[in-house]
Structure 1
Amino acid sequence: MSHNSYWYIGLSLISLTLLAYICFKKNTIRSFLHVLIMVQIAYSIETVIYIYLGSYQYHPKIIKNFAYYDSNIGALASNMLAVPVAATFLTTFRLGWFWKIVFIGFFAGVELLFVKLHIYTLYWWRIEYTSLGLPVYFMVAKWIYPYLLHPLKGWLHSLLLFMCTAPFLGTFHIIPIMVFQNRFYHPGWFTDPAHDTTAFASIYYVFGTLIVITLVKLQWKQGWIKLCVLTASFYILTLVLKNSEILDIRIWWDPYYYVLFPLLIYVISRAISKRLSFGASQASNNA
């Protein structure tokens, strides 16, 4: 394993330790839902500036065959763990601007260190942009948190359900592609096939999440019908992408996985929906 990897693994372990501390000290369910929402916000930002605008590239040297997939691993360490967990820590412990500045300085310092170590390359992005963007991100985290204290319904319930569900579907979708190269997408947006695949996957998982939460919110008494519709929807989506030559399947188990794993996401999303409807804090207290 390259020395590059240890830096990213170390950052991930620090983040997981902090997340465990949050869950131990605070309401586990509410904190976890808050982390999920902040992950989706980070994913959305990263989709724009990293995937489509080419802001920077990570070099953890964990995936050997495709440099862009390797870069995605670094992006996950930052956007699935480090930044969302920090935002939830600051919010749940109601820490003021002193600690926010400490964390902003920490992330700016990590960026600078990674650049100096040549394990992170900046293109048009600057560390100053991170330092200016994080205060906004932390304020959004603080604004969202109170909504998780009470039962939700209507459009706000749907929005937060989407934001809690999307990280699951997006992560379960892209990780096998990066590790096993079991499929490629060819929309023709970028010359690098790994970059092209990642870009299309960022659209795919949003569309897939909309299918899942639509079925979760439909008031059908026969739950098995929803599961059938869900499976059929992803099967048809696979056929359409395959026949249009956007999807290139490389491994035999790929179609089965991508048609069936949304069933697990549906189960997770339905559980989250109930928690949001009942109120995450009340649900935990009554458990």
Structure 2
Amino acid sequence: MNLFWSHTLWYLILGLATLTQVIYTLYHSKDRLRTFAFYLSLVGLPLYFETFILIFLDAYAYFPKIIQNPKIDPYNDVLAGNLFSQFGVASSALLLAVRRKPFYWNVIVSFIYAMVEVLFEFLGIYRHHWWKTWMTFIALFLFFVISKWMYAHLTRGVGSIYFYGYLILGMFPICTILFFWGVLDLFGYMRFTTTLFPDHPRISRYGLYLTFTLVNYILVLWGYFQKHWIWKIVTLVSVGTLIYLGYRGHLLLFWEGAFVPIGIIVIFWMYFSVWILDTLYRGRQQEL
């Protein structure tokens, strides 16, 4: 309980601020479905960035003290803290873009998050390794600028290639975070091996995460938008083959005896994620 008040509570406050910004933006949006889809894409952008600087480059660490199960890798708690951070900055990016806030608001909000970072570090619930607060300010400022650019292109209509990019970004929170990590990984149904690079187990695990998801997302997206059924079948077989090869090569570790049903569910969820995003984005054509 002490950890809740000293650590977890601050992350929950950040989560409440995130929820408030998203609800406020959706309330003032002309097309709430597409706005929410855009938010999911915005979440994916910093998550891909943080995959490199947090996991591969060990820039900093979060300590929300949410995942405390001794049977689960304690690094998952760091990842949970990261989610509060990235969903938070994405909610601000959404508000700034959709509400068309003036340029100086990018500076103000970036500064606020930098100060929140300073506060979290002071409280001992976040720690820099080599990262600096001024880097956070610059990174967020650029993120807010890019978000407004993405929103402007979305309202004017994006071409197929750009649209696929929005979908791949949106699949990170829906598929990678919610399903692969939040369900399969944390509950032990399917995990990636840590032995590919024995001296770097974290890079092994999450490097496979990134490679597996990106390759399969691209395949699934390609198959989803094909008009001829034969290419859809080819895509399903290709994704299933990759999962099987990962299983046989001991890169993917499944709950004993559950390879087939979990593999089928994985394929279904990836297609379902694309369908959700495509439906949200294309539901209405008027401006957000």
TM-score normalised per structure 1: 0.86
1:190–1:112 Cα change, 3 Å: farther
- Number of aligned positions between the proteins: 279
Instruction: Give 1:194 deviation, angstroms.
Output: 5.4
Say whether 1:123 aligns with 2:123. Answer: no
Instruction: Give 1:35 deviation, angstroms.
Output: 1.2
Mapped to 2, the partners of 1:238 and 1:44 lie a distance apart of 22
Give the structure 1 partner of residue 11 of structure 2. Answer: 8
> 3-state DSSP class of the match of 1:95?
coil
C-alpha deviations, 1:41-78, integer Å up to 9, x for none?
11121111111111011111111232211101011111
Q: 2:146 aligns with which of 140, 144, 147?
A: 140
Q: In the alignment, is the contact (CA less than 8 A) between 2:167 and 2:274 conserved in 1? A: yes
Q: Counterparts in 2 of 1:236-251, with a 5 A limit?
A: 236-250=241-255
Q: In the alignment, is the contact (CA less than 8 A) between 1:63 and 1:69 conserved in 2? A: yes
Give the structure 2 partner of residue 69 of structure 1. Answer: 76
Give the structure 1 partner of residue 39 of structure 2. Answer: 35
Instruction: Give 1:170 deviation, angstroms.
Output: 1.4
Q: 2:219 aligns with which of 207, 211, 214?
A: 211
1:258–1:112 Cα change, 3 Å: farther
Q: 1:175 aligns with which of 170, 182, 192?
A: 182
1:204–1:281 Cα change, 3 Å: same
Mapped to 1, the partners of 2:8 and 2:284 lie a distance apart of 36
Q: In the alignment, is the contact (CA less than 8 A) between 2:167 and 2:277 conserved in 1? A: yes
Mapped to 1, the partners of 2:56 and 2:119 lie a distance apart of 25
Letter in 2 for 1:49: I
> 3-state DSSP class of the match of 1:60?
coil
C-alpha deviations, 1:217-254, integer Å up to 9, x for none?
211257xx83x555544432232112222223345546
Gaps of 5+ in 1: none
Letter in 1 for 2:83: L
Q: In the alignment, is the contact (CA less than 8 A) between 1:58 and 1:74 conserved in 2? A: yes
Mapped to 1, the partners of 2:172 and 2:235 lie a distance apart of 16
Q: 1:220 aligns with which of 221, 228, 239?
A: 228
Q: Counterparts in 2 of 1:150-165, with a 5 A limit?
A: 150-165=156-171
Mapped to 1, the partners of 2:257 and 2:9 lie a distance apart of 33
Give the structure 2 partner of residue 24 of structure 1. Answer: 27
Letter in 2 for 1:168: I
Give the structure 2 partner of residue 55 of structure 1. Answer: 59
Gaps of 5+ in 2: none
Q: In the alignment, is the contact (CA less than 8 A) between 2:8 and 2:65 conserved in 1? A: yes
Mapped to 2, the partners of 1:260 and 1:178 lie a distance apart of 14
Q: CA RMSD in A?
A: 2.6
C-alpha deviations, 1:77-103, integer Å up to 9, x for none?
112x10111101011111123322231
Q: In the alignment, is the contact (CA less than 8 A) between 2:34 and 2:280 conserved in 1? A: no
Mapped to 2, the partners of 1:154 and 1:238 lie a distance apart of 27
Give the structure 2 partner of residue 110 of structure 1. Answer: 116
> 3-state DSSP class of the match of 1:63?
coil
Q: In the alignment, is the contact (CA less than 8 A) between 1:51 and 1:199 conserved in 2? A: no
Q: Percent identity?
A: 24
Q: In the alignment, is the contact (CA less than 8 A) between 1:234 and 1:259 conserved in 2? A: no
Give the structure 1 partner of residue 265 of structure 2. Answer: 260
